[in-house]
Chains A and B, each alone.
Chain A
Amino acid sequence: MPSVCFYFEVHQPYRLKPYGALQVGSDHEYFDEKLNAEVMRKVANKCYLPANESMLRLIDRTDGRFRISYAVTGVAIEQMKLYAPEVLDSFVRLAETGAVEFVAETYYHSLAALYDKDEYREQIDLELKLIKNEFGQTPRVFRNTEFIYNDEIGQFISDLGFEAMLIEGADDILDWRSPNFVYTVAGRETRLLTKNFKLSDDIAFRFSNQAWGEFPLTADKFAGWVHGHSGAGDVINLFMDYETFGEHQWKETGIFDFLEHLPELLFTHPDWDILTPSQVIDRYPALGELPFHRTVSWADEARDISAWRGNAMQQRALAEIYALGADIRRRNNSHLLALWRRLQTSDHFYYMATKSASDAEVHDYFSPYEGPYDAFIHYMNVMKDLNLSVLAPAQKQLRL
């Protein structure tokens, strides 16, 4: 009996304000509070609130047979509390249905996995505590920032005790394999659920693309494609940004109607059901190991980590922020630690990417700045001020 598994990513970074070189030394407010509030409220109204309403209604209407999973980053939850508390309330209501699973993440949506494993573990712990506090769940399943994955990360997560990870179903990794089965981390029992990127992206990226041969995509047509996999897989993993609903794909495109009708149409085939990630690994056995010969993510054409560290600017910025780790942890100052961690959020580095063509369009879409150079300049100016005004004076005090 095959299944569909829905997973939605919910994340909002603390965006830096445009921070010029002349501000260094005198301005220690780094984040663009006005913009961050604006974005949170905008996305709440266009996506989070109406989409959560839809999800609640669907769960109710199907007696909990429609099931979904989320990762909600710590920084997103913090900003919901600050700027749109009703959004968090509605996620709590979703948690109470019993049909919604919360998947673990790094609290700061960072790249710590690639730079600082101690920090990585701490950010995962923070997120676990947050999910327990807010939603009353203890996640069994983990998904890393932007689906960044390699064998080493898989093994690290496995050693932390997670039972499964959600990852990108990259073509060159799967090779002859189908994404529609459960695999395991190389050398471990921990399961891997691989995103069916074709079907996921049909909704997330192509839904409103009029140049696409399958436009317009109806729920009926999509359910038919899913049903076409009967007998050829255990689980179709549909993983996407939650903002697909109402933000990336506007309400006017009919995305909410699509969502409204999809579950019942999926259920018209008696063999198919909808499960959360934990239910998937409880039901389906793993087919075998899935070894990775490179680091994969779900970003850009290349589906690698070049979106965050593809150029010299990104590499410099990342090297600088992680070089501060030992110093900052030693100070044991919770405010400073949180500040340092907010500066680790992967979006900062994503904005600095110098990609071409369609990748650049996606980066531009998300970036609050005029381009990668401004993103780098603002970030490095903030780093300079952090070093000069926050870290250096504190050091002097210690010596006294």
Chain B
Amino acid sequence: MRVLMLGWEYPPHISGGLGTACEGLTRSLAGRGIEIDFLVPKLYGEEDAPHMQLLGAASAAPMIQVPAPVAAPDPLAELIAAEPMLGTDPIVTAAAEAARSQAAQGSEPGVRVLRVPAMLKPYLDQATYRELITTGALQESALDEIAASQVMNPLPEPPHEISRLEHVHIPGDDLPFAEEAPTGAHYGDDLFAEVARYAMSATRRVHGQKYDLVHAHDWMTFPAGIEIARRAGAPLLVHVHSLEYDRAGRGADRDIVAVEHQGLENAARVIAVSYYTRGLINRVHNTPLDKISVVHNGVYARETIEAYTEQRTSTGPVVLFLGRVTFQKGPEYFVQAAARVLEHVPDAVFIMAGSGDMLPRMKALVEDLGIAESFRFPGFLRGAEVERAFSTADVYVMPSVSEPFGIAPLEAMSHDRPVIVSKQSGVSEVLRNALKVNFWDVDKIASQIVALLELPELRRVIIERAREEIRHIHWDAAAEKLVPIYESVLRG
């Protein structure tokens, strides 16, 4: 079975759980003999993906610059250089990559990552996108690629869905910045134009390829998914990792909701990452429940890095929040709970790791509450810093207001950390060995934190059992559930 997957990011350059999820899922699917072309809008050249094959964009390969570290020449860059056109000889390169990956780690061949330049990244909203354009934060080189690809390879016909999308979503008077984009005028000054443009480039990128299924992850890939599936005559699966409602609540962007809706309508089947999300899709979009299948995310268990536990700098117990500091993640409930915990455990230290639009407000809030001395704001962490944060924490708290799944608690558990998760999260459906709270129940969150800090037996039993539990929340289990869904969709 050959599947085209449309994703948004890939480790280590990730801004949230989506990249981790895509990595886990593709690995396990590849292990089950599913052949996957994985399309991502941007590629940094440092991905740890020995199970995948990386190919340059068909149209613009010579212009692509992969910023690989000088000290460690990147085999992926070589591949890209060696494979200017997708489809010229994929078998040869697949074999080459298979040999390479088996030599490296014995990982599964069968997945190729296809790169399509685009100024998109996960969790973009219109305001952030506009900011990126106006500040020039999107690299010029990437912009050049896009421009080049559009000039060099005009589509043989304008895709019907895309033009409609542009028509619907190009904003009017309500967007005062629309005429101000000084650097990005020729790339599209609103997010939806870029999404549409991506749909075009992606469609062109896989032109002529044959796929049994098109599997699109989250809203920004939906227009591309719809168009590619239509041209290929293949059924579309849309995979919902989060809804606009999760990210923004009542402040949801109606245009984004509309794109989500279009994807859900055009899909032969919808995959939700939890029953929580399945219910939400049904309520927000009226998608019939029997069209939505639940495939919970997994985690790759790892060895705990004990060394970090000795490097602790603070004296008191450490309580960790790690995630985007946005409405969705409920950071203010963490701060409020911290204030109550400190009444009982005065030497506790609270770390709020992550960046996001609510960060300044959170900093102000801890000042107002007079608990700034007990708080640390290390900013956005990546790679080893994340590992270190988990390893030095005594408790991990995820007080999300609306969390379709939430992989971070599983990561914390794989570091032998006890976790508190909100019941408004998909991950709470699959966990027995976590403490579960309603995100708004600040007293309960505080009480559970105090309990975990004060009762060593509680910690011990939770950690021991969680260690066993996460071994069963594995990506293979997700793939095992997904393959029959693929098959049933193919049968019609």
Residues of A within 8 A of B (CB): 20-24, 311-313, 315-316, 354, 370-374, 376-377, 380-381
Are A312 and B461 neighbours in the complex by a CB distance under 8 Å? yes
The residue that A22 contacts in the complex, of B432, B436, B447, B455, with Cβ under 8 A, is: B447
B344: chain A residues at CB < 8 Å are 21-22, 24
A381: chain B residues at CB < 8 Å are 447, 451
Bound Cα distance A380, B465 (Å): 20
Bound Cα distance A370, B461 (Å): 16
Is B444's CB within 8 Å of the partner chain A?
yes
Are B436 and A370 neighbours in the complex by a CB distance under 8 Å? yes
Q: Given A22-B340, A380-B451, A381-B451, A373–B444 Cβ distance below 8 Å?
A: no
B444: chain A residues at CB < 8 Å are 20
9 additional contacts, CB 8 Å, given A313-B461, A316-B455, A376-B455?
A: A21-B447, A21-B451, A22-B340, A22-B443, A24-B344, A313-B455, A373-B435, A377-B447, A381-B447
Interface residues of B in 437-466 (CB under 8 A from A): 443-444, 446-448, 450-451, 454-455, 457-458, 460-462, 465
Instruction: Name the distance in Å between B439's Cβ and chain A's nearest Cβ.
Output: 16
Bound Cα distance A167, B238 (Å): 59
Bound Cα distance A311, B461 (Å): 7
Bound Cα distance A373, B461 (Å): 9
Instruction: Name the distance in Å between B467's Cβ and chain A's nearest Cβ.
Output: 13
Are B448 and A377 neighbours in the complex by a CB distance under 8 Å? yes
B443: chain A residues at CB < 8 Å are 20, 22
| Best-buried of B344, B435, B454, B457 by chain A (most CB within 10 Å) | B457
Are A316 and B457 neighbours in the complex by a CB distance under 8 Å? yes
22 A-B pairs with CB atoms under 8 Å apart are A20-B444, A20-B446, A20-B447, A21-B344, A21-B446, A21-B450, A22-B344, A22-B443, A22-B450, A23-B447, A312-B457, A312-B461, A313-B458, A315-B457, A370-B436, A373-B433, A376-B457, A377-B447, A377-B448, A377-B455, A377-B458, A380-B451
A315: chain B residues at CB < 8 Å are 457
B340: chain A residues at CB < 8 Å are 22
Are A354 and B455 neighbours in the complex by a CB distance under 8 Å? no
Q: Given A21-B344, A354-B465, A377–B436 Cβ distance below 8 Å?
A: no
Bound Cα distance A315, B455 (Å): 12
Instruction: Name the distance in Å between A279's Cβ and chain B's nearest Cβ.
Output: 46
Bound Cα distance A214, B451 (Å): 47
**Closest Cβ neighbor of A370 among chain B residues:** B436
A22: chain B residues at CB < 8 Å are 340, 343-344, 443, 446-447, 450
Are B457 and A373 neighbours in the complex by a CB distance under 8 Å? no
Bound Cα distance A145, B245 (Å): 52
Are A371 and B432 neighbours in the complex by a CB distance under 8 Å? yes
**When each residue 116-158 of chain B gets 1 if its CB lies under 8 Å from chain A and 0 otherwise, what string results?**
0000000000000000000000000000000000000000000
**Closest Cβ neighbor of A371 among chain B residues:** B432
Instruction: Name the distance in Å between B284's Cβ and chain A's nearest Cβ.
Output: 27
| Best-buried of A22, A24, A315, A376 by chain B (most CB within 10 Å) | A22
Bound Cα distance A357, B408 (Å): 26
The residue that A373 contacts in the complex, of B343, B446, B450, B458, with Cβ under 8 A, is: B458
B436: chain A residues at CB < 8 Å are 370
Instruction: Name the distance in Å between B421's Cβ and chain A's nearest Cβ.
Output: 12
Q: Which 8 pairs across A and B sit closest by C-beta, in order of nearness?
A: A20-B447, A21-B450, A312-B457, A21-B447, A377-B451, A316-B457, A313-B457, A311-B461
A311: chain B residues at CB < 8 Å are 457, 461
Instruction: Name the distance in Å between B166's Cβ and chain A's nearest Cβ.
Output: 49
Bound Cα distance A354, B444 (Å): 22
A312: chain B residues at CB < 8 Å are 457, 460-461
Bound Cα distance A316, B444 (Å): 22
Bound Cα distance A377, B436 (Å): 13
Instruction: Name the distance in Å between B160's Cβ and chain A's nearest Cβ.
Output: 51
Bound Cα distance A371, B450 (Å): 18
Bound Cα distance A380, B453 (Å): 13
**Closest Cβ neighbor of A377 among chain B residues:** B451
Bound Cα distance A370, B458 (Å): 15
Interface residues of B in 396-411 (CB under 8 A from A): none
Are A380 and B455 neighbours in the complex by a CB distance under 8 Å? yes
A354: chain B residues at CB < 8 Å are 461, 465
B451: chain A residues at CB < 8 Å are 21, 377, 380-381
**When each residue 316-359 of chain B gets 1 if its CB lies under 8 Å from chain A and 0 otherwise, what string results?**
00000000000000000000000010011000000000000000
A313: chain B residues at CB < 8 Å are 455, 457-458, 461
B457: chain A residues at CB < 8 Å are 311-313, 315-316, 376
Bound Cα distance A147, B392 (Å): 46
| Best-buried of B446, B455, B462 by chain A (most CB within 10 Å) | B455
Bound Cα distance A24, B343 (Å): 12
Instruction: Name the distance in Å between B409's Cβ and chain A's nearest Cβ.
Output: 15
Instruction: Name the distance in Å between B233's Cβ and chain A's nearest Cβ.
Output: 45
Instruction: Name the distance in Å between B25's Cβ and chain A's nearest Cβ.
Output: 27
| Best-buried of A21, A24, A354, A376 by chain B (most CB within 10 Å) | A21
**When each residue 219-241 of chain B gets 1 if its CB lies under 8 Å from chain A and 0 otherwise, what string results?**
00000000000000000000000
A376: chain B residues at CB < 8 Å are 455, 457-458
Bound Cα distance A305, B450 (Å): 30
Instruction: Name the distance in Å between B362's Cβ and chain A's nearest Cβ.
Output: 22
**Closest Cβ neighbor of A373 among chain B residues:** B435
A372: chain B residues at CB < 8 Å are 461
Bound Cα distance A91, B197 (Å): 79
Bound Cα distance A373, B435 (Å): 7
B447: chain A residues at CB < 8 Å are 20-23, 377, 381
| Best-buried of B344, B450, B451 by chain A (most CB within 10 Å) | B451
Instruction: Name the distance in Å between B73's Cβ and chain A's nearest Cβ.
Output: 49
B461: chain A residues at CB < 8 Å are 311-313, 354, 372-373
**Closest Cβ neighbor of A380 among chain B residues:** B455
| Best-buried of A370, A373, A376 by chain B (most CB within 10 Å) | A373
Bound Cα distance A381, B454 (Å): 10
Are A373 and B462 neighbours in the complex by a CB distance under 8 Å? yes
Instruction: Name the distance in Å between A231's Cβ and chain B's nearest Cβ.
Output: 49
Bound Cα distance A380, B340 (Å): 19
Instruction: Name the distance in Å between A173's Cβ and chain B's nearest Cβ.
Output: 29
Bound Cα distance A373, B437 (Å): 12
Instruction: Name the distance in Å between B325's Cβ and chain A's nearest Cβ.
Output: 25
**Closest Cβ neighbor of A19 among chain B residues:** B447
Bound Cα distance A22, B442 (Å): 11
**Closest Cβ neighbor of B448 among chain A residues:** A377
Instruction: Name the distance in Å between A373's Cβ and chain B's nearest Cβ.
Output: 6
A373: chain B residues at CB < 8 Å are 433, 435, 458, 461-462
Bound Cα distance A199, B315 (Å): 60
Bound Cα distance A232, B447 (Å): 59
**Closest Cβ neighbor of A384 among chain B residues:** B454
**Closest Cβ neighbor of A18 among chain B residues:** B444
B435: chain A residues at CB < 8 Å are 373-374
**Closest Cβ neighbor of B443 among chain A residues:** A22
**Closest Cβ neighbor of A311 among chain B residues:** B461
Bound Cα distance A374, B452 (Å): 11
B446: chain A residues at CB < 8 Å are 20-22
A23: chain B residues at CB < 8 Å are 447
A21: chain B residues at CB < 8 Å are 344, 446-448, 450-451, 454
